[in-house]
Structure formats: structure tokens, C-alpha cells
A and B are shown apart, each in its own frame.
Chain A
Amino acid sequence: MIELHSITKRFDTPSGGVEALRNVSLQIRQGEIFGVIGRSGAGKSTLIRVINLLERPDDGGKVIVAGRDLTALPYSELRVARRDIGMIFQHFNLLSARSVFDNVALPLELRGESKAAIKAKVEPLLELVGLADKAGQYPAQLSGGQKQRVGIARALATDPKVLLCDEATSALDPETTEQILKLIKDIRDRLNLTVVLITHEMAVVKEIADRVAVMEQGRIIEQGETFEVFTRPQHATTRSFVADLIGFDLPPALQKRLAVQPAANARLWRILFTGPHADEPVIAELSRNLGLDLNILHGRIDEIQGRPFGVMVVQARGDEAKLIAAKSWLAGKQLTVEELEDVIAIDRAAV
């Protein structure tokens, strides 16, 4: 649905040039929700603005949306093409002088629709986003979540094929964020839209993205199915994004305690619960069948894209043979086991 080919974007600043995007290529499929995550300055805002050419990539870059090369279009045709691409914003960007109804009507007015046609379009849209009773109110009278609903209705007014979400929930509280994300997902399912959303919050990606790209310094450093990226992060930056949500890392206090008082005869394992055996009573079976002492130190169980996923850090005590047997048994269950001794050793050296 969306193809970006070798996109580079340099900005000239007083302190020299900045490369916001460095040779980025990306393919986004029809009907998917594609998340782009990165810290501020990673280039994600520029990336989403390249899709509707609010930012024009430097020479050589190509942007293809719905089979049309936008970079090759003259300005007048680009304006028409933009109607296929709805956009919502972090700060909503509603017109304060227009009522809710008139805000949603704006893109239709720009297209020169008749009053009757506008009414016939706007009312169901307000119904869809749950604001039918607020049509006459002004944005200043609405809460943040309601404002974003107006933004969504406005973005959908021209029946776009693509919805771009620029940090659409970053100004909202967690509860409202969840409602807005649910609405976006719901709309995607109903209208078969392609959604691109950029965010710095991994929780947002985890909530609704089918696939995700991680950006750093103008490059995409990792991308894939959300579940894969979450459960097997390859890059350090991705790991740190995922860490808070997943609980990969031991809490600092626990790490310190283990460093100071290493347990004799024990191993520290991090077990990743994914795959078909993720919801089996693995720990109980290990302990019962192999006679290991297992002390659960830290763990988190979650669901990503409807698939169970968990991380557990255990201290396993037993003789060498039993430990080796346990590890191969876990591997047979398609669970990943990592020795954490290395992590601890580094800490021990520091102490």
C-alpha cells in the first residue's frame, strides 16, 4: 500500500546539516497497522511526513501510495492525492473557530462538496467516533480524547485509504490512549484502512501494531512482526524499548543483591515463554520431574497481538547433570533459556 524507496532527508540548520532520514526503505501492506517507534530525534516524525509529502525527500527517494508515485506528481495532483491519506496529530490541530461539525466538514469544503453532501457525510462520522451529541460544540469545550475523536472523524471524511497517526496518543492519559487506540483498530477493521502510527511509547505499539519498525538516527534498525520484535529484540535500542514492558532486565536492587551474595551451586536463568508451550506449568514440571529447586526471582506474563508471552528469571539449584537435563528439556518445549551469570558477573566486578 505504501512503499518508501531510499528516502533521505537533509535539513539545513544554522549549525550545519542534519540528516533526519538516511536511506530509509519501507513497505507497508494494505490493511495493516504499522508502528514506527523511536526516541525523539530519531526521524520518525519526518518519516510519517514523507508519506504524504509534507516533507519532500531529497533527490532519488520515491514515495508510492496506493500504486501512485507521489514524488512524481505535480503539486496540483499531489493535493488531490492527499485526500487518499488522512492524518491525525499529537496536538489534534483542530480549528478553534469552527464547531466540531465544521471541523469534520473542512476537508469536504476544501473539495467543494455541497452542504447536503457534507451533512450526509459528517453526521455518520460523528456517530462512528461517538461524538454525535457534540456537533455544535467548539474544540475548547472538549477533552483531549474527544478532540482526537474529532481529528479522526476529520481524517476519515474524504474516505482515505491510509491513516497517518503522528504521536496521536502522546498528549493523552493512559486510559484515553487505550480508548483512542481501540477506536483506531476498530476503524481499521471496519474500513480496511492501512494505518501508520509513529510513537515513542512501546505500549502503543504493543497494543495495536501488527508490524513495527524501530528507528534510530534516521535509520530503521529493526523491523518485523510486533510479537517477534518484542520477544526477540535484536538491537540494543529495541531491547531498551521493550525492556520496561516485558521485564527482560532484573530490577536494580535484585541485581545488586545477587551480585553481592552469589548463591553457591545455583544458576540464574531467564526463560522466555513463547510458542505452543508458553502456557504450560513448566516450572512445576521442572521441579517435580527433575528434582530441581527453582526460586522465581522476577517475571512478567503478558499478551502481545493476542499471543501469550512471558519472561521469568529463576534461580535453579541442583547438581550439574540435572541442570543440563533441565535446559535441554526446556529447549524441547521451545522455550528459550539464557544464562544470566554474565550479567551478574559484570555487576559483581563493579561491586
Chain B
Amino acid sequence: MSSQLIALLFDGLIETLVMVGVSGGIGALFGIPLGVILILTDRGGILQSLTVNRVLGLAINAARSTPFIILMVAIIPFTRLVAGTSIGTAAAIVPLTIAAIPFIARLVETALREVPSGLIEAADAMGATPLQIVVKVLLPEALPGIIAGLTITFVSLIGYSAMAGAVGGGGLGDIGIRYGYQRFLPEVMLAVVLVLIVFVQGVQSAGDRLVRKLSHR
């Protein structure tokens, strides 16, 4: 393998890392609270409000049912507003984040649903406030599930980030398409795929290890 190719792959890997890391991070920042709100406002939740729940659920479903490639193109004006440009890695982070938020919200909702209702009842009986129930009971108890969900999110984002190549987003996927596919360099394609496999493998097992460490069930 030429040193040129290695440098190319290294740059691609860094770009992918930045795209996935930033969009996943910001996605979690917004997605986790949304997941919490979904649970709290649901029927039988401690802050039941079916209107809020339904509107939020609808918005999340709409965002999730839009194919990523379409979402990316559709929100270009918004991307330009936020990132100042509609091409490049920074521009790719905007649609990736928008895609990650509802994804994470649903996964967090599912993880929170696994927390036995008896624990919430117990905290309620101790005189906990709704905020205390979220911070002291719901989130810590669901943490392994949330981490598992975030791991899935990161792996999915790696796949999405390849599509970001279509808007000049950079990253490994972009390299694979431009060099491997369009310029027909099978060894580059193979190298990209191998790096992605190792990368995904690494993310998944790091996530699994963290879940095991946090889970005391």
C-alpha cells in the first residue's frame, strides 16, 4: 500500500470521526432529553400530556421516515445558515445531527421504558420531584440501555456519513465512492471497506464493554 493511500485513508478516517463524533454528540444532547420527554408525557407517565407526546412523536416519526439522502438535500438552506456553507465536512455534520436526534430520541425512549415502573413508584413514595426521578432513577437505571442505543446510533451514523460524500462531505465513504468507484481503484475500495469494518467493530465492542461495565442487573 502506497504511503499516499495511507495518508488519504487517514484523512478520511479523521473526517469520518469528526462527522460521526460531533453529530452523535450533539444528537445525544438533544435526543436524550427528547426521549425523556416522550416517556414522561406518555400515558401513565409522571407528567402525562398526550398532546405534547403526540406532536413530538409525529415530528420524530416524520424526521425518521425521510431518507437521509433526501433530508440532506432538503435542508441545504438550513445547513448553509448553521454551517455557513453547504459543502464539506462541517456542512455534512448538520444533516447528520438532524438525522441522529430523532433516532436517539426513540432509542432512549425504548431504554427508559425498560426501567420497571415500580422504581418510579418507589421514588414517588419517597417524595422525589419529577426532575429527581429523571436524574436519580430513570437515567441511571436506563444508562446501559442508552449507551447500547448510542452505540447503534454511532454505527448507523458511520453508514450515513458515507452518503454525506454526495455533498462533498469528505470522510471514508467519500473516498470509497470517488477513488474506488468513480476512478475504479478496487484496492482503494477494499482498503476503505476494511478500515470501516475495523472502525465499526471497534465502536461496537467499546460500546458493549461499557454497557457490561455499567450494568448491574
Contacts and interface: CB of A to CB of B under 8 A. Distances in A.
B121 A93 contact: yes
A140 B128 CA distance: 24
B116 A140 contact: no
Contacts of B214: 97
B119 interface: yes
Interface string A74-96: 00001111110101010101011
Contacts of A91: 116, 118
B125 A97 contact: no
Interface stretch (B1-9, B73-81, B133-141, B198-206): B133-141
B140 A82 contact: no
B116 A97 contact: no
A97 B126 contact: no
B9 to A, nearest CB: 40
Interface in A110-151: 110-111, 138-140
Nearest to A88: B122
Contacts of B140: 95, 97-98
A95 B126 CA distance: 13
B216 A96 contact: yes
B122 A110 contact: no
Given A79-B128, A83-B126, A93 B216 contact: no
Interface residues of A, number: 27
B132 interface: yes
Contacts of A54: 121, 124-125
Given A110-B132, A140-B217, A95 B141 contact: yes
B46 to A, nearest CB: 11
Main secondary structure of the interface of B (DSSP, over half): helix
A52 interface: yes
Given A93-B118, A95-B140, A110 B127 contact: yes
Contact of B216 (A82, A83, A97, A111): A97
Nearest to B144: A97
Main secondary structure of the interface of A (DSSP, over half): mixed
Contacts of A83: 126-127
Indicate the size class of the contact surface on chain B: 20 to 34
A97 B141 contact: yes
A220 B2 CA distance: 86
A139 B127 CA distance: 22
B125 A95 contact: no
Contact of A79 (B116, B119, B127, B215): B127
A85 B124 CA distance: 11
B136 A109 contact: yes
Interface in B60-85: none
A152 interface: no
A78 B129 CA distance: 11
A98 B214 CA distance: 10
A169 interface: no
Contacts of B136: 106, 109-110
A87 B128 CA distance: 14
A93 B126 contact: no
A194 interface: no
A85 to B, nearest CB: 7
B123 A110 contact: yes
A93 B119 contact: yes
Nearest to A52: B125
B22 interface: no
Given A87-B122, A139-B216, A140-B217, A97 B143 contact: yes
A53 B121 CA distance: 11
Contact of B217 (A85, A87, A96): A96
A158 B122 contact: no
B157 to A, nearest CB: 27
A140 B215 CA distance: 10
Given A82-B127, A109-B136, A96 B141 contact: yes
Contact of B126 (A82, A139, A140): A82
Given A95-B140, A96-B141, A110 B126 contact: yes
Interface of A: 52, 54, 78-83, 85, 87, 89, 91, 93, 95-98, 106-107, 109-111, 138-140, 158, 164
Q: Please list the 9 inter-chain residue pairs (A to B) with the smallest Cβ-Cβ separation, ordered nearest first.
A: A93-B122, A138-B216, A82-B127, A79-B127, A93-B118, A107-B126, A87-B125, A97-B140, A96-B217
Given A79-B128, A110-B126, A138-B216, 14 more contacts: A52-B125, A54-B125, A79-B129, A81-B127, A85-B125, A87-B122, A93-B116, A93-B118, A93-B121, A93-B122, A97-B214, A110-B129, A140-B216, A158-B126
